[in-house]
Amino acid sequence: MAHRTIHWFRKGLRIHDNPALLAGLDGSKEFRPIFILDPHFVSSGLVGANRWRFLLESLQDLDNSFKTLGSRLYVLQGTPLDVLPRIFKEWNITRLTFEMDTEPYARQRDEAVCQLAAEHGVEVIQRVSHTLFVTSSVIRNNGGKPPLTYQRLQTVLSKMGAPAKPRDPPTKEAIHKCAVPIEADHGAKYGVPTLEQLGVKPIQEESLYPGGETEALRRMGEYLERKDWVCKFEKPKTQPNSLEPSTTVLSPYLKFGCLSPRTFYYGIQDVYREKKNYTKPPVSLEGQLLWREFFYTAAAGTPNFHQMVDNPVCLQLPWDNNTEFLEAWKYGRTGYPFIDAIMTQLRQEGWIHHLARHAVACFLTRGDLWISWEEGEKVFEELLLDADYSLNAGNWMWLSASAFFHQYFRVYSPIVFGKKTDPTGQYIKKYLPVLKKMPIQYIYEPWNAPRSVQEKAGCIIGQDYPRPIVDHAQVSKRNIGRMKEARACQANAKSDNKRPTEESQTTKTKSAKKSKKMK
């Protein structure tokens, strides 16, 4: 049977290594690639302007790719459960293909879509390509539970063999075998909208990291050409506050699926084979892809992974609810220049180095402000280009020492940490221009500058730039104590749950005596 097929893009915004797209083309007499843009997400305000722009640029790039193949991308607006039944009927669709998603919201949505498709007689084909491995297979190979340590994940994966090889992109011939029903007014009806049409105001004039598969592959190729750099790469040794990124900044492209993780993985392996000597996971480039795999697998097998309550892997902590502190952190007004510069970069550009994320996450939670990691998770979800359900929640639990990481007494200093890689504070001066004339010896602690120095620098602390909202030396010690106490309480609670009650112990004793008499 020749099908009338739609391939539904959600993530996976690429034509290379897209097995669901290839399945959609195979045996089709008519083919349309679609993306459904839900206006609710625009009006909710939960997603920032930088990420909306990245998405629209990625869709435009995808449309351009289909143009070169003799097709076009169809962008439809509405909810999937409203749009899909309508186009099933309108276009006489017999087959729907899409990339499998592991997030809870996506699972519920896709189950409902599969039911709708069945009601309309539409065959559904799903393929895995957003992760290196099939997460359900990893969990099954770990005895039905997700691996909760990186080392355990490596052990499980070592028994599963290498990831599947990436698939080639579709050819013009494959597209030409299908009818491609493009109308003269396609752009007006199905074109990619602009930010202005969505009512989103851009934060800056141009993208530092343009969205799309073309830029993803260009950027990956540029870094893979630096073969010595690839082989010597150690993530902890990269700089969180360099003026230009010290890492690949491929995370947004992996998040949106503009870049296939399998394509990147095998590109790295090609370099390793050629150079022979290279760093190993977890700090290597390959190791970063495995960290991504770790959090995806943990999230897929853990209920309520994005929250503290009812999350079985998460430490339950009595966080403070201080809206004033939260707002100061969110908008870069804590009075600690290193922290404020990072949060300013995040808001302006949509990306910050992973060690910078560590610093601000620790500061918000167990280090200084004792505010729940869920609050930080929401801010990152809004502002990060690469905001991702699994990685965002997993890393916030890690940095708040709520799960995965247990050395809660290791706290990042908002003063000392940044000095290691940027002693002259050039990063701070870039993102906090109010401090650009502050002498080097005071750039990380401007409140210590004498009044005359502040006046000469044109920055009066408490007036032009805020005083520190907390004393790090004091609150970090207090919070270490709170974390220690909370962990002890939870350990005792677990012990009490395992210990039989006096009543049950008495019952067991009586039962044992009765059993002896019967014998």
Could you give the CA distance from residue 132 to residue 129 in angstroms, rounded to a whole number?
A: 7
For residue 129, what pLDDT is reported?
98
Q: What is the DSSP letter of 320?
A: B
Is residue 492 scored above 50 in pLDDT? yes
Average pLDDT over residues 258-287: 97
Burial class (CB in 10 A: 0-12, 13-18, 19+), 318: exposed
CA distances 119 to 95, 125, 155, 195, Å, are 12, 15, 43, 36
Q: Where are the domains of the chain?
A: 3-130, 213-300, 323-472
Give the CATH fold of the 213-300 domain: 1.25.40
- In terms of Cα–Cα distance, which of 177, 150, 111 is closest to 235? 150
Residue at 421: amino acid letter: T
Q: Are 198 and 42 in contact (CB under 8 A)?
A: yes
pLDDT, residue 517, reads 42
Superfamily of domain 3-130 in CATH is HUPs (3.40.50.620)
With CA atoms as reference, report the closest residue to 370 among 347, 402, 340, 344.
402
Confidence of residue 511 (pLDDT cuts 50, 70, 90): very low
Q: Does domain 323-472 have CATH number 3.40.228.10?
A: no
With a cut of 70, say whether residue 18 has pLDDT above it.
yes
> Mean pLDDT across the stretch 289-304?
98
Confidence of residue 512 (pLDDT cuts 50, 70, 90): very low
> Mean pLDDT of all residues in the chain?
94
Q: Residue 195: is it exposed, middle or buried by C-beta count within 10 angstroms (0-12/13-18/19+)?
A: middle
Q: Name, in order, each residue with C-beta under 8 angstroms of 213's C-beta and a sequence gap of 6 or more.
A: 13, 14, 15, 16, 58, 61, 62, 65, 253, 258, 259
Q: What is the pLDDT of residues 426-435, one digit of tens each?
A: 999 999 999 9
Taking the model in full, what pTM does it have? 0.94
**% of the chain beyond a pLDDT of 70:** 95
The one-character DSSP state at 307 is S
* Contact indicator for 412, 366 with CB cutoff of 8 Å: no
Looking up tokens 């909710």, which residue turns up?
A: 44
Question: Given 3-state DSSP classes, what are the helix, strand and coil percentages for the chain, each rounded to the nearest 5?
Answer: 55, 5, 40
Predicted local distance difference test score (pLDDT) of residue 21: 98
Q: Are 30 and 179 in contact (CB under 8 A)?
A: yes
The pLDDT of residue 41: 83
The residue-averaged pLDDT of 124-140 equals 98
* Residues written for the chain: 519
